[in-house]
Amino acid sequence: MDATKALATTSLFGVLEPEELAVIAQRTVARRYRKGSILFVQGEEGERCFAIVSGTVKLSAYHADGREAVLAVLGPGDVFGELALFDEAPRSADATALEDAELLSLDRGALNEAIATHPEIASALLRVLGRRLRQSNEAFQDIAFFDVPGRVARRLADLADSYGVEVEEGVMIDIFLSQESLAQMVGATRESVNKALALLKRRGLVARTGKRYFVSDVGRLRSRALGPSA
Ligand code: CMP
């Protein structure tokens, strides 16, 4: 893997010039994880952040009774594991590879040095954190205001915006997403998400082939989040 090229595709480091990236790339460690591997768990100390080069990573928190809430499913170009480096508190979530994944990791010292030398990274980081806060607020509002089909519609529309690839049928969401993960992301049971997906499929808004979801019209899907007749 060419670490400089891989860093150029990330939300945090993509703002830098190739020569600057090459310096940071030297400090990264490339790691491969098999599908299902646990990268770290909530509550442990964190000394490294990660950039996703390929594959999909799930960030989730657990209730004492074992129930899981999926905070996010991240894909190529995303960065995670930075919170524990900044607030020096334990990991706020578990990270699990949902598909075979290639990651680049950077330790606290190297990240802080990179930020001190290139303040643009701090601005990019604020953008990433701001977007996450917005998404968390939206997820909170979804649970308060929307029915399950609405929540599923909105989440799929957001994922299509973030990870969508234009194809003949519309937009393919190019990350692996099981029904179980989708249910944990929208705070609903797998059965109710299954019904919601069936409804969205009947309306021609969503389709699934193999491991990927397709959205025919992201705008229409987003409108569905507001209610059945919207
Ligand atoms: P950290 O707390 O080090 O370890 C868990 C990581 O999950 C955290 O850093 C963030 O990078 C990531 N994370 C936590 N909450 C969210 C969220 N709501 N959306 C996206 N990523 C998150």
Residues with CB under 6 A from ligand 1: 46, 59, 71-72, 80-84, 91-93, 132, 136
pLDDT by residue for the chain (230 residues), tens digit each? 789 999 999 989 998 998 899 999 999 999 999 999 999 999 999 999 999 999 999 999 988 888 888 999 999 999 999 999 999 899 999 999 999 999 999 999 999 999 999 999 999 999 999 999 998 998 888 888 899 999 999 999 999 999 999 998 899 999 989 899 999 999 899 999 999 999 999 999 999 988 899 999 999 999 887 777 55
* β-strand partners of 101: 33
Evaluate whether 81 touches 91 at the Cβ level (below 8 Å). yes
pLDDT in tens, 50-62: 999 999 999 999 8
Evaluate whether 110 touches 24 at the Cβ level (below 8 Å). yes
Ligand 1, atom nearest to 92 Cα: 2
**Angle made by CA atoms 142, 40, 102, in degrees to the nearest 5:** 90
Name the residue of 41, 52, 59, 127 whose CB sits within 8 Å of the most ligand 1 atoms, as the mutation to test its pocket: 59
pTM of the model: 0.83
